[in-house]
Amino acid sequence: MTDTLSREDYENARHFGTAGPASLIGEQVVSGWRKESTGWSGKYWTFVASDDGVWTLRAVNVSTRKNRP
């Protein structure tokens, strides 16, 4: 299952270089994610820290922006 970030969390991570559009990742990685990551929209990636501090590149979905009143 693919994780989903809020739009705000994605924009913050992108600002710091720990997330971005899938177009910045090599085609072999993206193709592998399409096969492995069920439900992935095919648009975004992020780094995820494990409990032991190792950062892993992962496919991620981003929620839509909420309308502000």
Whether residue 67 lies inside any domain: the answer is no
Output DSSP code: residue 36: H
Residue 5, C-beta contacts closer than 8 angstroms, at least 6 positions apart: 13, 19, 44, 46, 60, 61, 62, 63
Q: How confident is the model at residue 65 (pLDDT cuts 50, 70, 90)?
A: confident
3-state class (DSSP) for residue 18:
coil
Residue 13, C-beta contacts closer than 8 angstroms, at least 6 positions apart: 5, 19, 46, 47
Q: Give the position of tokens 């820290």.
A: 49
Whether residue 68 lies inside any domain: the answer is no
The total number of structural domains that make up the chain: 1
**Mean model confidence pLDDT for the chain:** 92
Whether residue 13 lies inside any domain: the answer is yes
Q: What share of the chain is helix, strand, coil (3-state, %, to 5)?
A: 30, 30, 40
The pTM of this model reads 0.84
Domain carrying residue 8: 4-62
